Amino acid sequence: MTPRDYPTALGASSPTSITLLGHDLAADVMGEVGFGELAFWLATQRRPSRGEVRVFEAVLAALADHGFTPTAIVTRLTYLSAPDSVQGALAAGLLGGGSRFLGVTEDCGRFLAGVLKEHDPLPSDDAGWDALALETVTAWRESGRRVPGLGHHVHKDGDPRTPRLFEIAAEEGLYGPHLSLFAAVGRVHPRVLGRTLPLNGAGVCGAALADLGLPLELLRGFALLARTAGLIGQLAEELRHPVANDIFLSVDLNNRSVPPDPYGESHG
Scanning residues 50 to 89, which ones bind a copy of itself (CB under 8 A)?
51-54, 56-58, 60-62, 64-74, 77-78, 80-89
Among 126, 160, 170, 191, binds a copy of itself (CB under 8 A): 160
Distance in Å, CB of 134 to a copy of itself, minimum = 26
Is residue 39 within 8 Å of residue 18, measured between CB atoms? Answer: no
Alpha carbon separation from 166 to 30, 180, 204 (Å, rounded):
31, 9, 8
Is residue 95 a contact point for a copy of itself (CB under 8 A)? yes
Distance of alpha carbon 188 from alpha carbon 196, whole angstroms = 9
DSSP letter (8 states) at residue 218: G
What is the footprint of a copy of itself within residues 138-157 (CB under 8 A)? 154-157
Q: Is the bond preceding 7 in cis, omega lying within 30 degrees of 0? A: no
Examine residue 194 and tell whether it contacts a copy of itself (CB under 8 A): no
Find how far residue 4's CA is from the centre of its chain: 35
Q: Which helix (H) or strand (E) holds 31?
A: none
Q: Does 33 bind a copy of itself (CB under 8 A)?
A: yes
- The interface region with a copy of itself, picked from 132-140, 142-150, 185-193, 251-259 by CB under 8 A, is 251-259
Pick one of 110, 134, 141, 248: the residue that binds a copy of itself (CB under 8 A): 248
**Interface region with a copy of itself, contact rule CB under 8 A, candidates 111-119, 128-136, 139-147, 229-237:** 229-237
Q: Which stretch binds a copy of itself (CB under 8 A): 118-126, 128-136, 186-194, 219-227?
A: 219-227
Q: Are 158 and 198 in contact (CB under 8 A)?
A: yes
Q: Judged by CB under 8 A, which stretch of 121-129, 130-138, 188-196, 237-245 contacts a copy of itself?
A: 237-245
User: Exactly one of 4, 50, 117, 195 binds a copy of itself (CB under 8 A); which one?
Assistant: 4
DSSP conformation letters of 49-68: PHHHHHHHHHHHHHHS--SS
CA distances for 57 relative to 35, 83, 104, angstroms: 9, 31, 18
